[in-house]
Amino acid sequence: MATLGIDGTGQRLLRRLNPGPGGWQVGLATVATVGVALGLSALLIAVTGGSPTASAKALYQGSMASPAAWSTSLLYVAPLLLVAVGACVSARSGFFNIGQEGQVLIGALAGAWVGLRLAVPGPLLLVLVLLASVVGAGIWAGLSALMYRFRGVNIVVSTMLMTFLAQQLVSFAVNTPWLLQESRLGRGTLSPQSNPVPENARLTSLGDYPNLQLNGGLVLAVVVAVALALVMARTRWGFRLKMVGLNPATARHAGVRVGALGGIALAISGALAGLAGALLLTSPVSTNRLQPGMSLNIGWDGLLVALVARNNPLLAIPVAVLFGVLRAGGSFLAATGVPSFLVDVVKALLVLAFVAPPVVIGMLRRRRLADEPATPTSTPTAPAAPMGAPAPTAPTAGSAEAAGSAPAGSAAPVPGPRTTAPPPADPGDAGTAGNKDAMEGRLA
């Protein structure tokens, strides 16, 4: 990213990666919770009769031990990352899309149709397949935005329910001979799947390394992630998107067409999920056929990646790698006899370990704020301590403010520290007002 400098810009990047106030607390807590999650996982495996060390070894061998294992992991990383980046975009706008699983399928469906029905020579076919999946899934997700716009249908609900519709559609397509069901060869029974897409519609590996395969899809996904991170951080469009997500009323007031922008964000997120679907179809992760179960829960897992990455597309890259590793290692682990549902449990524990700390710490901070009595004058003058030494009741908004205004206090006409809330009001309001606004904007 362009801010990757040494001092000033580097610090800014760090700050952006910082989850917010009390970042180090969150970091410490995350380390602790991940430790707990790993411990619990080991315990679970031991209790169900497995060996935790052998399992860890298997997990490692299946995902990272060799270039071949890495190749498998990275094949999963690309679609996961695409879904996650899309989820970041929609979450940033406050129009939460949780229907990626269905959008992945629709993308694969559109891609398969183009790949199998259009006889275009050369790599142009691949381009068309990818484009079709982007457009198809983008429109599919856009439908939810339209439903919201014209009928007020809750976006979270509609995107999720559309997933089931998408599953039925794909199932119908691969069970209907005149649509996409495989052609009859000899007398074999027909399976509910399509023919494999032609060779020139497949994503191949880049470069020629023994054992290691770097699929083109991964490059595509990383490029998309970096590009969107830049767009969101550096452009007017990204600025407006952030504004809409954080405070739709102010955004509207500042001249942003909230509904349109949110709809576009939703469509982008759908389009990226669709692209992930196309990757599943065209890369060696699958049989290159359209199959009802081919989405492999990538849509749901991608959402988790975004959740763990706290809606930051750049952070999503390492998190997606982690999830890809867990996926590849998980299937290897399942092959060694550990029940595959345990792998899912381990994954879920890890997600919780990453997601819980910021939420819990945020809640604790708010509670502490609310517990403090409404005494705006209990600290009659600005604390004598300079900025670096906060008051003992450390991370409350009130004292943060006091610390902020103290050095300049003598110059400013403000006589003493004030809370943002009017005196008799519950001081917790100040902290939660923004969140409430955001929630209302999203759910209204």
Partner 1 sequence: MDVDDKLTPALTLRGVSKRYGPVVACDAVDLAVRPGEIHGLLGENGAGKSTLMKILLGLVHRDAGTITRGTEPVEIDSPQVAVELGLGMVHQHFSLIEPLTVWENVILGDTGRIDRAAACAQVEEVSRRYGLPIDPHVRVDRLSAGERQRVELIKCLRRDPSVLILDEPTSVLTQAESAELFTVLRRVVQAERRAVILISHKLAEIMAATDRVTVLRRGAVAFHGATKDTTAQELARQMVGREVSLQAESAALGLLPVERPAPVAGADGTEVAPSAAGPTQEKPAVLRLREVTLLVGGLPMLDRLSLDVAPGEIVGLYGVEGNGQATVGELLSGLLVPDSGTVEIDGRPVDLVRPGALHHAGLGIVPEDRHHSGVVLDMSVAENLVMKSLAGVTTRGVLSRRRMHRIAQRQMTEFNIVAPSPDTPLRSLSGGNQQRVVLARELSAGPKALVAAQPTHGLDVGAIEDMYVRLRQAAAEGVAVLLISTELEEVMALANRIAVISSGRIVGVLPTAEATAERLGMLVGGVSH
Scanning 189-197, 288-296, 322-330, 411-419 for contacts with partner 1 by CB under 8 A, the matching segment is 411-419
Nearer to partner 1 among residue 235 and residue 287 (C-beta): 235
For position 5 contacting partner 1 by CB under 8 A, the verdict is: no
| CB distance 215 to 205 below 8 Å | yes
| CB distance 298 to 280 below 8 Å | yes
Helical packing angle, 100-117 and 124-151, nearest 10°: 140
Task: Report the residue count for the chain.
Answer: 444
- Which residue in the set 253, 341, 371, 439 belongs to the binding site for partner 1 (CB under 8 A)? 253
The encoded tokens of residue 199 equal 């060779």
Q: Which amino acid is at 175?
A: N
For position 161 contacting partner 1 by CB under 8 A, the verdict is: no
Separation CA 80–CA 295 (nearest Å):
11
Helical packing angle, 216-234 and 67-93, nearest 10°: 30
Scanning 149-157, 262-270, 317-325, 376-384 for contacts with partner 1 by CB under 8 A, the matching segment is 376-384
**Of 133, 129, 117, nearest to 166 (Cα)?**
133
- Which residue in the set 118, 128, 179, 374 belongs to the binding site for partner 1 (CB under 8 A)? 374
- Which residue in the set 243, 305, 317, 322 belongs to the binding site for partner 1 (CB under 8 A)? 243
Nearer to partner 1 among residue 48 and residue 420 (C-beta): 420
**Segment 277 to 336, residues that bind partner 1, using CB under 8 A:** none
For position 433 contacting partner 1 by CB under 8 A, the verdict is: yes
Sign of CA dihedral 82, 301, 110, 116: positive
- Which residue in the set 48, 235, 287, 340 belongs to the binding site for partner 1 (CB under 8 A)? 235
| CB distance 216 to 224 below 8 Å | no
The encoded tokens of residue 248 equal 């739709």
For position 369 contacting partner 1 by CB under 8 A, the verdict is: no
For position 420 contacting partner 1 by CB under 8 A, the verdict is: yes
From residue 112, how far is each of 173, 186, 274 by CA, in Å? 10, 23, 12
- Which residue in the set 48, 191, 250, 287 belongs to the binding site for partner 1 (CB under 8 A)? 250
- Which residue in the set 274, 299, 417, 428 belongs to the binding site for partner 1 (CB under 8 A)? 417
List CB contacts of 344: < 8 A, sequence separation 6 or more: 330
Minimum CB distance to partner 1, residue 284 (Å): 38
For position 127 contacting partner 1 by CB under 8 A, the verdict is: no
DSSP assignments along 237-281, one per residue = HHHHHHHHHH-HHHHHHTT--HHHHHHHHHHHHHHHHHHHHHHHH
Separation CA 26–CA 100 (nearest Å):
28
- Which residue in the set 130, 170, 309, 421 belongs to the binding site for partner 1 (CB under 8 A)? 421
Residues in the interface with partner 1 (CB under 8 A) total 55
Minimum CB distance to partner 1, residue 379 (Å): 11
Separation CA 287–CA 294 (nearest Å):
9
Scanning 31-39, 60-68, 153-161, 395-403 for contacts with partner 1 by CB under 8 A, the matching segment is 395-403
- Which residue in the set 129, 203, 256, 351 belongs to the binding site for partner 1 (CB under 8 A)? 256
For position 10 contacting partner 1 by CB under 8 A, the verdict is: no
Looking at 94-123, list the stretches that DSSP marks H as alpha helix, in order from N- to C-terminal side. Answer: 100-117
Nearer to partner 1 among residue 226 and residue 374 (C-beta): 374
What is the binding site for partner 1 (CB under 8 A)? Answer: 12, 15, 21, 234-240, 242-243, 246-247, 249-258, 374-378, 387, 397, 400-401, 404-405, 408-409, 411-425, 433-434, 437
